[in-house]
Amino acid sequence: MSKDLERKQTPQDAMLAAFQEDMAQIVPYLQSLLPWKGAVERFVKMTRMAVMRNPDLLKCNRKSLFLSLLWCAEKSLEPGVEDGVWLIPFKGVVQPITAYKGLIKRAIDTESVKDVQPYAIYQNDEFEYTLGTDPQIVHKPPKIGLERGDLIGAYLVVTMPDGDKRFSPPLDKASIEKARNAGAAWKAKPGTGPWHDWTEAMFLKTAVKAGLKYVRLKAPMQDLITDDGRIDAGETVATLLSQAGAAMPEALQGEDEPEPTKPEPLDTSQFNDFLAAKMLHPDRVARVSERLKEIAEVWTQNYKKPFTEDQVKVEAGKKFEEFWAGYVEWETEKYPPQGNKAPEPEPGNEPPETAGAGEGWGDFAPRRKAAFNVLMQKGVPPTTSGITREEDITEENIAQVEELGKTYEPPRKGKK
């Protein structure tokens, strides 16, 4: 095969190759946890498929990934499948999140139950249940094709080893979200993760865990539910494996820490394209950079946190003509040409004619903040100023706001 036809190795290929080499080091430990024939080979295959589907796993702390895999094997569940354990990157480490079908599979495998079926309840479903000596449940979704409405709850039907059927008291949305809100991942970053991506599945998982509390579970199944709850509460996998007495390579012992992450580069292409279209002389390009740094310094002082030239570029790219008009005015003042004539614009790139269109680009924010602070200091009521927050001050009304700040006098006591 010619070199031209050979596929070049990508960074992802290199990470996957390194991962597979490291994976070989934990195979002996997998064999002790999965002793039945062919189990380790299948587990390794499923692991490889999981990291190929989600390459972000390879960017996480490698130790946390291998610890999660050992935990999966210790619980006799496969990684990255619906009836196993999902591997979720979180803050630079990998977390094993048991899928609701994984809980069901393990409950059946341990012969704690014969079957488990969770159901989601939607707003337009017909749903009734009774408890007591003759418990019953009636659940009728709308006809196929009709909207079911919002997700409002979930419940579980369990078939016991003797064939007896039971159902758990249904959980409403508020109860399920209470359980969700107690989780460490949701607390750290609400609105993201499995609860955001797989809402119905997490409703069902909550119903499964709650419903199985009414069943006498075998020890391995009880341990799985306990560990799953501890992981959800923020416990590390390293701690769980250590407390379970699991054999681990020396390199994997101890707590796992996230890899330091580098910030994603800012996309300044919009600004760069606009600037390139003006075909500026190198001297003027350097002056544009100088102006961007000045604006970054103003923002840094005003907002009490560091801003970079690239951050200014991102914002300037959104309103480039406004920025450019302000730049030309700044340049004329700071670098006046000989004879006090304004610099000649490049052909076809004359600045906008609108008077003051770019006045103080990058300086309006501190001017607005100062005007708002004056209103607050003088106690100007919103009914007088029409201003309730800083963002209510615009370029169109800032002159009137500043004048009001100068002239306002609070009413004297006793006067209405």
Q: How far is the C-alpha of 239 from the C-alpha of 70, rounded, in Å?
A: 12
More confidently predicted of 333 and 106: 106
pLDDT of residue 284: 87
Check residue 414 and give its pLDDT: 53
What is the band of 115 on the pLDDT scale with cuts at 50, 70, 90? very high
| Predicted confidence (pLDDT) at residue 157 exceeds the cutoff of 50 | yes
The predicted structure's pLDDT at residue 177:
93
Question: What pLDDT digit, counting tens, does each position of 141-155 carry?
Answer: 999 889 999 999 999
The larger pLDDT score, comparing residue 372 to residue 198, is at 198
**Does the pLDDT value for residue 132 go beyond 60?**
yes
Given a cut of 50, is residue 337 above it in pLDDT? yes
Q: What is the pLDDT of residues 239-259, one digit of tens each?
A: 888 888 777 777 676 655 444
pLDDT tens-digit series, residues 17-73: 888 888 888 888 888 888 888 899 999 999 999 988 888 888 888 888 999 999 999
| pLDDT of 335 strictly over 70 | yes
Average pLDDT over residues 220-237: 90
pLDDT, position 147: 93
Higher pLDDT pick, 412 / 217: 217
Residue-level pLDDT at 2: 47
Q: Read off the pLDDT band of 5 (50, 70, 90).
A: very low
Q: Which range, 108-117, 183-192, 324-333, is most confident?
A: 108-117
Q: What is the mean pLDDT of residues 346-367?
A: 48
Report d(CA 293, CA 289) in Å as an integer: 6
Domain locations in the chain? 10-109+216-262, 113-215, 269-358, 365-407
The model's confidence at residue 376, banded by pLDDT at 50, 70 and 90, is: confident
Percent of the chain whose pLDDT exceeds 90: 33
Contacts of 94 (CB under 8 A, 6+ apart): 57, 60, 61, 64, 65, 67, 68, 87, 88
Strand partners of residue 127: 139
Lowest mean pLDDT of 113-127, 280-294, 331-345, 355-369, name the range.
355-369
Lowest mean pLDDT among 126-135, 211-220, 285-294, 339-348: 339-348
Residue 254, pLDDT score:
62
* 349 pLDDT more than 60: no
Report d(CA 407, CA 394) in Å as an integer: 19
Report the pLDDT value the prediction gives residue 341, as an integer from 0 to 100: 47
What average pLDDT does the segment 85-109 reach? 92
Predicted local confidence at residue 263, as pLDDT = 56
This prediction's pTM: 0.59
Check whether 416 has a pLDDT greater than 70.
no
* Per-residue model confidence (pLDDT) at position 342: 46
What is the predicted pLDDT for the residue at 328?
87
